[in-house]
Amino acid sequence: MKKIVLKPGREKSLKRHHPWIFSGAINPVKVPLEMGETVEIVNSHGEFLARAACSPKSQIFARVWSFNKNEEITPEFLRRRLENALSRRLRIAQKTSAFRVVFSESDGLPGVIVDKYDSYLVVQLLTAGAEYWKETIFSLLEEVVPCDGIYERSDADVREKEGLPKRAGLVLGKQPPEYIEIHENECRFLVDVCSGHKTGFYIDQRENRRILIDYVKGAELLNCFSYTGGFGICALHYGAEKVANIDSSAQALRLVDKIVELNGMKPENVENVEGNVFQLLREYRQQGRDFDVIVLDPPKFIESAGQVKKAGRAYKDINMLAMQLLRPGGFLFTFSCSGLLAPELFQKIVAYAALDAGKNIHIIRRLAQAEDHPVALNFPEAGYLKGLLCQAAD
């Protein structure tokens, strides 16, 4: 096995079992490397540190499979990791028909994302190591997680940073239907796994949609960046009077209509608006519209560290506008899925937004991603979703 030697003093993060090795931490590699092949990481004295998948074209040169010197990276190793990931989620599987089976580094499988929608699996392979083992991973998934079909959605932009082409399509089994029906929090949803966002549905917000239940009875709710209406559908099911969904995708909003019908809800209680959220909120402010509950769940505004400042202005703007539309005593569910935005900075941005809005706002609860998106203590980067449940003073 080829060895990658770290520069002196660059092994500290690996000693803490952080799974990433950056290109700047290694000595020049004099042997040719195959994308994704397993290499041994050693310190400057030649002492073993880890076995990892190499990605020579990425800033993250290698991602650790195992810190155990006696553990070889084989199909059996991958099977154990998949089985362990599934076993940790059996309790969740009893409550919903849609959940994340594998969450990348947090499950010891860097770059491997597996979501289960009813009887179908949707897989994203986002790193060179995951790509290297793709055939084995697909074959093992079919055995470990019985399903009708496996559909691949390795079409995320992050693959380009690994020097990998985007790819999507059926891998094994039957082609998924146009919409897969799932259930969550007593609601029914339709998921487009072939062309929807990410793998088709925002599973990571499941528990926050459940929290929403306690705040919507008799309320008028504004659901911004609604996608296929997850928060809005949940609100209507649990007693909201009216819901307005805003999204830039007409296709997503058409699916909201189908989901409203699927759940036997009254279409007159739902307003779907296609457009730019920033612009529409300004128009609502001008019109004097207001709401009891507002949900802000924007897409990721930050792709690199250099975008944090600009994105901070966008988060501040959108939160200020939402607060100005909030009725006295109303509730704001505000989120950021930008992993590069620290929770402390997000809170500070929301605080400045309240100041500019001229509102007295209290945080009554902190929100995070669902439990099937765990954060390994040695990999805090997995904690990307952060949220605040805020209340406007009467």
**How confident is the model over 38-47, as pLDDT tens digits?**
999 999 999 9
pLDDT in tens, 185-219: 899 999 999 999 999 999 999 999 999 999 999 99
**Residue 54 in this model has a pLDDT that exceeds 90:** yes
Backbone φ and ψ of 386, nearest 5°: -130, 145
Residues known to be catalytic = 337
Q: Considering only CA atoms, which of 291, 294, 359 is closest in space to residue 327?
A: 291
Which ranges in 151-306 belong to alpha helices (H)? 158-161, 206-212, 230-237, 250-262, 277-287
The residues near 72 (Cβ < 8 Å, ≥ 6 apart) are 51
Q: What is the pLDDT of residue 119?
A: 97
Q: What integer is the mean pLDDT of 231-245?
A: 98
The CA R_g of the chain, rounded to the nearest whole Å, is 22
Residue 302 has pLDDT above 80, yes or no: no
For CA atoms 298, 170, 86, 179, the dihedral sign is positive
Residues 132-162 have pLDDT tens digits of 999 999 999 999 999 999 999 999 999 999 9
> How far is the CA of 24 from the CAs of 65, 205, 221, in angstroms?
20, 36, 49
In CATH, the architecture of 75-173 is 2-Layer Sandwich (3.30)
Please give the DSSP secondary-structure letter assigned to residue 321.
H
> What pLDDT was estimated at residue 308?
85
**Is residue 125 scored above 90 in pLDDT?**
yes
CB-facing half-sphere around the CA of 44: CA atoms within 13 A: 9
Q: Domain 202-392: give its CATH code.
A: 3.40.50.150
Mean pLDDT of 53-61: 95
Identify the bridge partners of residue 326 per DSSP, sorted by sequence position: 291
Q: Report the C-alpha gap between 119 and 108 in whole angstroms.
A: 24
Domain with CATH 2.30.130.10 in the chain: 3-66
| Band (310; pLDDT cuts 50, 70, 90) | confident
Q: What is the pLDDT of residue 203?
A: 97
Q: Are 265 and 238 in contact (CB under 8 A)?
A: no
Task: Give the angle 229-231-234 at the CA atoms, nearest 5°.
Answer: 100
d(CA 72, CA 23): 23
Distance CA(17)–CA(49), nearest Å, equals 9
Q: Is the pLDDT of residue 394 over 80?
A: no
CATH of domain 3-66: 2.30.130.10
Confidence band for 124, pLDDT divided at 50, 70 and 90: very high
pLDDT value of residue 305 = 80
- Provide the pLDDT confidence category of residue 307 given band limits of 50, 70 and 90: confident
What would the pLDDT profile of 319-352 be if each residue is shown by its tens digit? 999 999 999 999 999 999 998 899 999 999 999 9
273 pLDDT above the threshold of 90: yes
Tokens linked to 19 = 């799974």
Helix (H) or strand (E) holding 92: helix 90-93
Q: Of 223, 232, 213, 208, which Cα lies nearest the Cα of 369?
A: 208
Average pLDDT, the chain: 96
Nearest-angstrom CA–CA distance, 213 and 232 = 10
Q: 208-212: long-range contacts at Cβ-Cβ below 8 A with a sequence spacing of 24 or more?
A: 208/333, 208/335, 208/367, 208/370, 208/387, 209/184, 209/185, 209/234, 210/185, 210/234, 211/365, 211/367, 211/389, 212/238, 212/293, 212/295, 212/333
Domain with CATH 3.30.750.80 in the chain: 75-173
| pLDDT tens digits, 60-117 | 999 999 999 999 999 999 999 999 999 999 999 989 999 999 999 999 999 999 999 9
**Closest Cα partner for 158 from 280, 304, 13?**
304
pLDDT at 303: 79
**28 CB contacts (<8 Å, ≥6 apart)?**
none
Strands 149-154 and 291-296, how do they pair?
unpaired
Which long-range contacts link 352-355 to residues 24+ away (Cβ below 8 Å)? 352/316, 353/315, 353/316, 353/317, 353/319, 353/320, 353/323, 354/319, 354/320, 354/323
Letter for the amino acid at 345?
L
**In the predicted model, is pLDDT for residue 309 greater than 90?**
no
pTM passes above 0.85: yes
The whole-angstrom separation of Cα 299 and Cα 227 is: 10
Candidates 308, 307, 380; CA nearest to 349 is 308
If you average pLDDT over residues 213-240, what whole number do you get?
Answer: 98
The reported pLDDT for the residue numbered 246 is 98
